[in-house]
Structure 1
Amino acid sequence: MVKYSILLPTYNERDNLPLVVWLIHKYLHAEGFEFAAGDLDVSFEILIIDDGSPDGTLEVAKELQKLYGKERIVLLPREKKLGLGTAYIHGLKHAKGNYVIIMDADLSHHPKFIMEFIEKQKEQDYDIVTGSRYIERGGVYGWDLRRKVVSRGANFLAQLLLRPGASDLTGSFRLYKKEVLEQLVQSCISKGYVFQMEMLVRANRAGMRVAEVPITFVDRLYGQSKLGGTEIVSYAKGLLQLFCTT
Structure 2
Amino acid sequence: MSSQEDKYSVLLPTYNERENLPLIIWLLVKYFEQDKINFEVIVIDDNSPDGTLDVAKQLQEVYGKDRIVLRPREAKLGLGTAYIHGMKHSTGNFILLMDADLSHHPKFIAEFIQKQREGDYDIVSGTRYAGDGGVYGWDLRRKVISRGANYVAQILLRPGASDLTGSFRLYRKDVLRKLMDVCVSKGYVFQMEMIVRARQLSYSVGEVPISFVDRVYGESKLGGNEIVSYLKGLLTLFATT
TM-score (norm 2): 0.96
Count of residue pairs brought into register by the alignment:
237
Answering whether residue 12 of structure 2 is matched by residue 14 of structure 1, we say no
Question: Using the alignment, how far apart are the partners of 1:89 and 1:67 within structure 2?
Answer: 27
> Tell me, what secondary structure is at the counterpart of 1:213?
strand
Q: Which residue of 2 aligns with 1:244?
A: 239
Question: Using the alignment, how far apart are the partners of 1:187 and 1:87 within structure 2?
Answer: 16
Question: Equivalent of 2:230, from 219, 227, 235?
Answer: 235
Conservation of the 8 A alpha-carbon contact between 1:2 and 1:96: no
Q: Which residue of 2 aligns with 1:183?
A: 178
Identity, % of aligned pairs?
Answer: 71
Question: Using the alignment, how far apart are the partners of 1:239 and 1:124 within structure 2?
Answer: 29
Conservation of the 8 A alpha-carbon contact between 1:127 and 1:209: yes
> Tell me, what secondary structure is at the counterpart of 1:230?
helix
Q: Which residue of 2 aligns with 1:127?
A: 122
Q: Which residue of 1 aligns with 2:109?
A: 114
TM-score (norm 1): 0.95
RMSD: 0.9
Conservation of the 8 A alpha-carbon contact between 1:58 and 1:77: yes
Conservation of the 8 A alpha-carbon contact between 2:133 and 2:209: yes
Conservation of the 8 A alpha-carbon contact between 2:119 and 2:206: no
Q: Which residue of 1 aligns with 2:32?
A: 28
Question: Using the alignment, how far apart are the partners of 1:193 and 1:73 within structure 2?
Answer: 27
Question: Using the alignment, how far apart are the partners of 1:162 and 1:52 within structure 2?
Answer: 36
Question: Using the alignment, how far apart are the partners of 2:237 and 2:31 within structure 1?
Answer: 37
Q: Which residue of 1 aligns with 2:44?
A: 49
Question: Using the alignment, how far apart are the partners of 2:16 and 2:96 within structure 1?
Answer: 21
Answering whether residue 12 of structure 2 is matched by residue 3 of structure 1, we say no
After the TM superposition, which segments of 4 or more aligned residues of structure 1 sit over 3 Å from their partners? none
Question: Using the alignment, how far apart are the partners of 1:51 and 1:221 within structure 2?
Answer: 20
Question: Using the alignment, how far apart are the partners of 1:195 and 1:53 within structure 2?
Answer: 22
Question: Using the alignment, how far apart are the partners of 1:31 and 1:91 within structure 2?
Answer: 24
Question: Equivalent of 2:219, from 210, 224, 234?
Answer: 224
Gaps of 5+ in 1: 34-42
Conservation of the 8 A alpha-carbon contact between 2:6 and 2:94: no
> Tell me, what secondary structure is at the counterpart of 1:45?
strand
Query: How far apart are residue 32 of structure 1 and its match?
Result: 2.1
Letter of the 2:223 partner, please give it: G
Q: Which residue of 2 aligns with 1:140?
A: 135
Query: How far apart are residue 2 of structure 1 and its match?
Result: 6.8
Question: Using the alignment, how far apart are the partners of 1:93 and 1:23 within structure 2?
Answer: 24
Conservation of the 8 A alpha-carbon contact between 1:2 and 1:45: no
Query: How far apart are residue 100 of structure 1 and its match?
Result: 0.3
